[in-house]
Chains A and B, each alone.
Chain A
Amino acid sequence: MPAILQLQNVVKQYQNYRAVDNLSFEIPEASVFGFLGPNGAGKTSTIRIITTITKADGGQILFNNQPLSPTHVAEIGYMPEERGLYKSMKVGETVLYLAQLKGMKKSAAKAELDLWLKKFDISSWYDKPIEELSKGMQQKVQFISTVLHRPKLLILDEPFSGLDPINAVLIQDEITEMHRNGTTIVFSTHRMEQVELICEHIVLINKGKNMLNGEVKAIKEQFKKHIYKVDWAGEGFSIEENAPFVPTTAPNAANFNPAQSLYIQLKADSSPQAVLRYLLDKSVNIVGFNEILPTFSEIFIQTVENKPF
């Protein structure tokens, strides 16, 4: 897949610390990309460089293989974590103003806005002042203003924070549809369960450096510990020295019945088939056998607290 965005040795230096430290990674076009990292990792600094808010002090950024420049502003949509709109302006004129700043023509913006308002069933809000809206309503408006100009690259910083479950699903559906239509979506988030659900690629940065990046599936494979969960019915079984596995603790302190379930870890040179064979030989009545891949939360913690690769 070609990359819509490439960061090459990007550096951002503030007076006494380096927020972005020789950072390189690529964002594949039309992917759902997770941008992860602990607080203070340099995510916001990086995002601000990508969105042309600030300039890098070193390295380069390529947008569709061209050096990033203000001309690309019209193709990028950005919703910062700190949300806000002009309180005294009305919904319609706010969105139109922001869209026109992105280079959209007023008539096109108006038509697009009507579509979105209808889609969210909020056409009556057009003339409402922003300050009369609740927080969730304002976030919907802000979301619309972020995507109205149909950007190719959409950067969302904690987009679901502050949204109730209904609105979260609403926004999620729209993001999914945009992705289907070829938009590249970049999520910056702390919510690892979302990363698991929706991201295809990720980059994990810490102290301004690239700690980990690639396809989510591949990374999980990379981090897997060959842990499996065995469920059985009826009598238990004993585990000999020569078993191809060892018991291990439940990874997430999950609720399970130790009388009927067991978490195991494969020994080196072993395989799931060997485990199954062992158990079948013991006439264990197996009802479930699943690999437990590491969660992104675990991967995150392990990566951040250990040394980089």
Chain B
Amino acid sequence: MDKIWLIIKREYWTRVRKKSFLLATILAPLGFALLMGVSLWLSTQGAEEKTVAVLDETDVLQTRQGRALKDSPYLKFKLVNGNLETAKKGLDSLKCVGLLHIVAQDTAQLRNLRVDYYSDSELGLISLEFIKNSLSEHVKSIKVKKAGLNETILASFETSVEVSPKTILKPAKDDKSAGSMRIYVATALGGIMMFLIYIVVFIYGNMVMRSVMEEKTNRIVEVIISSVKPFYLMLGKIVGVGAVGITQFLIWAITVPLLYMGIIFLFAPRLSELANQQSAAAGDVNINKINAIMAELGSFDYGSIVIFFLLFFIMGYVLYASLFAAVGSAMSDDWGEGQSLTLIIAIPVILGFYIGTAAIQNPNGNLAFFASMFPLFSPIVMPARIVFEPAWWEIALSLLLLLANSVFFVWLSGRIYRVGILMYGKKVGFWEFTKFMFRKE
């Protein structure tokens, strides 16, 4: 039916060439890049060294007994002597940003270390935290020694736990899947996909509704449907607006990763410097963690994930977009009324989002299963579940149910649409409206 094609083209081009579309499509990745760039830049800026003077007249920290304060790459401690006044005056010549004065206090229990910080400039949050942690650790080791305990033995009490997933009936995958990282990564991925569909349905579903209302408000709809059946007009709109959404997403899908890589590349030298400093100082497994995450990300079967994502996305969009079209057609010129009707459609979308969040915590539980089958929720919940590799028949069933329901909703909305678009002004009772819907046409 080439008339639908005409409608699709018009819906597509009139939106894609609008300034607002171009702005949103270009600004969003740029904004993202800016955000990333600035935060990375800031974090590299934070690598400026600061020195803080420490005055401990009563040697609470026992530095005179050989217990040295631990520095960090960004913040160094410098012990000073003398009294408070001279210490305060001597800050500039020592190139210190401030003075930590360990106040004379009772060191018997020392549950709370009192420290004054003298400075005319603010201490940043990170520096503050570092100082607190550092001093806390320092005092802890004093207490350990005082209690006559051995530091090494104490450290041996810490236990890290690693849970390795194994399968029973399902064939075991190769080594790559053995990591427990997988769960975290899968959860994040599922969450992202869920969020994407949620956003898409809202933004583009809304676009369809406004398009319907525009035609009603400016009265052109009557002319159009003297040439084309209302159902085809509605379909053309849904497909056209969907195409706009896909275009925008494709542009983002290409530009955002490119920008991301570009920025990382830009900051790469600095970042690796930092990483080396950090791992040396903290002795943490940060780098290992990142590597593990990367490995997990690489182990997913992206081919099938993308395909299923697209399928659910398309059908979910069609289902909700047709509902939005129906609502748009039923609304009178009073746009306020429309908001409340929109909310009614929004409810299953929002519900789906929340249920999906819960389902991700327990991807194979009952809630997740039924939510991923129920057609109003499945476009949001099932894609999130897919990264957890549910049984193929579950995916197939979910798709089938969604397809059947999408078709049903499109048909139903078509009937509402064809009646609603010709109704102006006079308020039709709800039941009358329903009866109108089912007349033969």
Give A145 to B222 CA distance when docked, in angstroms. 13
User: A29-37, A95-103, A159-167, A269-277: which lies at the B interface?
Assistant: A95-103
A103 neighbours in B (Cβ, 8 Å): 227
Chain A: interface secondary structure?
loop
Asked whether, in the complex, the Cβ of A101 is within 8 Å of the Cβ of B6, the reply is yes
B217 neighbours in A (Cβ, 8 Å): 84
Q: Give the contacting residue for A101; candidates B18, B218, B224; CB below 8 A.
A: B224
B428: min CB distance to chain A, Å: 9
Contact with B along A94-135 (1 / 0, CB 8 A): 000110111100000000000000000000000000000000
**A174-231, CB < 8 A from B:** none
Asked whether, in the complex, the Cβ of B218 is within 8 Å of the Cβ of A98, the reply is no
Q: Tally A residues with Cβ within 8 Å of B.
A: 31
Give A48 to B6 CA distance when docked, in angstroms. 23
Asked whether, in the complex, the Cβ of B440 is within 8 Å of the Cβ of A55, the reply is yes
Asked whether, in the complex, the Cβ of A84 is within 8 Å of the Cβ of B218, the reply is yes
Q: Is A85 an interface residue (CB 8 A)?
A: yes
Give A142 to B3 CA distance when docked, in angstroms. 20
Q: Is B422 an interface residue (CB 8 A)?
A: yes
A14 neighbours in B (Cβ, 8 Å): 436
A93: min CB distance to chain B, Å: 8
B251 neighbours in A (Cβ, 8 Å): none
Contact with B along A50-69 (1 / 0, CB 8 A): 01111100000000000000
Asked whether, in the complex, the Cβ of A100 is within 8 Å of the Cβ of B6, the reply is yes
Residue of chain A at shortest CB distance from B435: A15
Contact with B along A74-97 (1 / 0, CB 8 A): 001011101111111100000001
Asked whether, in the complex, the Cβ of B222 is within 8 Å of the Cβ of A15, the reply is no
Asked whether, in the complex, the Cβ of B436 is within 8 Å of the Cβ of A83, the reply is no
Contact with A along B14-38 (1 / 0, CB 8 A): 1000100000000000000000000
Please name 13 further chain A to chain B contacts, defined as beta carbons within 8 Å, in addition to the given A76-B226, A100-B6, sorted by A numbering.
A48-B422, A53-B225, A55-B440, A55-B441, A73-B227, A82-B424, A84-B217, A84-B218, A86-B14, A98-B223, A98-B224, A98-B227, A103-B227
In the complex, 5 of the A-B residue pairs with CB atoms within 8 angstroms, ordered by the A residue number, are A70-B229, A82-B219, A82-B424, A84-B220, A87-B214
Q: Which residues of B contact A (CB under 8 A)?
A: 3, 6-7, 10, 14, 18, 214-215, 217-220, 222-229, 422, 424, 432, 435-436, 440-441
Q: Which residues of A contact B (CB under 8 A)?
A: 14-15, 48, 51-55, 70, 73, 76, 78-80, 82-89, 97-98, 100-103, 142, 145-146
